[in-house]
């Protein structure tokens, strides 16, 4: 009897959670100009630090399975306030024995296959335009953490080869739109900047360094999401704070696995 009561209690709690989850995506968040300005400032200062020596940290990374940590950029020692939003800044690295810089760059540039390589996080992918090592790409991301969020996005990617043993890239989102009822006849994009606020901006920076009979792969991500809404922090908070780290972990582990297999799908 006690077991039945416990199971019923858990069922009721699960139903309450599901009911709350269904209501949350409808609570739109507005992307305000001051939020965008704060993100742009954060990115500008971060890129100034990167420009000094883009491979500085990568050259000292341990040959570990996976290294990942949060990063914070400050302006003259002070935190950068982001009104109405949150910035999530992570860096991670892996070492792939036997792989080369050319293989790593080729894998990242193979955008038309990213929906296969990085499934299920990347649900769709295609190159819209290419000029040498510069790309304009379209990606559909699917993020799941209690709730499922799907976004259509476009990005500008530029790859730079700094030598035979090293290369880097800067990939910045230019448009992100949350998708309502994805995969159904009722599918539609919500107005850009007025949606659930689960992903408003995404910048990623890849660095590749070939040495020690392999290649070190580092990815630094900076994302912008909504702030935590009052009364829903227990649910929205874990999504917007954990998804950036989990997505980076998945991306690096998948990249390592593909490179270990010679870049094959």
**Could you read off the pLDDT tens digit of each residue along the chain, which spans 265 residues?**
444 434 444 433 333 333 344 444 445 789 999 999 999 999 999 999 999 888 888 878 777 779 999 999 999 999 999 999 999 999 999 999 999 999 999 999 999 999 999 999 999 999 999 999 999 999 999 998 777 899 999 999 999 999 999 999 999 999 999 999 999 999 999 999 999 898 999 999 999 999 999 999 999 999 999 886 554 444 555 556 688 999 999 999 999 999 999 765 5
CA-CA-CA-CA dihedral for 99, 70, 153, 142, to nearest 10: 80
Question: Helix crossing, 101-109 with 233-260: angle to 10°?
Answer: 130
pLDDT, tens digit (0-9, with 9 covering 90-100), for 197-216: 989 999 999 999 999 999 99
Tell me if residue 60 falls in helix, strand or coil.
helix
Round to the nearest angstrom and report the end-to-end CA distance of the chain: 52
Domains, the chain, ordered by start: 30-260 (3.30.530.20)
d(CA 50, CA 256): 23
Q: In this predicted structure, what is the pLDDT of residue 6?
A: 44
**Scanning the structure block, which residue is given the tokens 């860096």?**
91
DSSP conformational letter for 26: G
- The pLDDT, as a whole number, for residue 60 is 81
- pLDDT on residue 265: 53
- Predicted pLDDT of residue 207: 97
pLDDT digits (tens, 9 = 90+) for 142-158: 998 777 899 999 999 99
Residue 181 has a CB neighbour count (10 Å cut-off) of 10
What does the pLDDT read at residue 35? 97
Helix (H, G, I), strand (E, B) or coil at 180: strand
Res 27: pLDDT: 59
Please give the pLDDT value at position 202.
97
Cα-atom radius of gyration of the chain, to the nearest Å?
A: 20
């Amino acid at each position: 009897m006690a077991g039945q009561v416990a199971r019923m209690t858990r069922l009721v709690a699960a139903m309450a959670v599901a009911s709350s989850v269904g209501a949350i995506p409808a609570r739109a968040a507005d992307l305000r100009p001051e939020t965008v300005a704060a993100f742009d400032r954060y990115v500008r200062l971060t890129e100034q630090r990167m420009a000094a020596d883009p491979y500085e940290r990568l050259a000292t990374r341990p040959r570990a399975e996976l290294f990942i940590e949060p990063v914070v950029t400050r302006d003259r020692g002070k935190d950068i306030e982001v009104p109405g939003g949150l910035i999530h800044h992570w860096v991670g690295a892996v070492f792939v024995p036997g792989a080369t810089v050319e293989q790593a760059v080729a894998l990242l540039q193979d955008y038309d296959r990213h929906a296969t390589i990085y499934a299920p996080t990347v649900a769709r992918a295609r190159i819209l335009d290419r000029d040498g090592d510069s790309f304009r790409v379209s990606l559909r991301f699917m993020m799941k953490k209690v709730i499922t969020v799907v976004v259509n996005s476009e990005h500008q990617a530029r790859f730079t080869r700094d030598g035979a043993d090293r290369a880097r890239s800067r990939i910045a989102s230019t448009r992100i739109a949350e998708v309502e009822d994805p995969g159904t006849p009722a599918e539609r994009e919500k107005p850009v900047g007025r949606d659930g606020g689960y992903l408003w901006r995404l910048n990623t920076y890849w660095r590749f360094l070939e040495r020690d009979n392999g290649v070190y792969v580092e990815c630094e991500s900076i994302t912008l999401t909504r702030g935590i809404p009052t009364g829903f922090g227990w649910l929205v908070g874990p999504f917007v704070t954990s998804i950036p780290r989990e997505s980076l972990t998945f991306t690096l582990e998948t990249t390592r696995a593909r490179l270990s297999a010679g870049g094959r799908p």
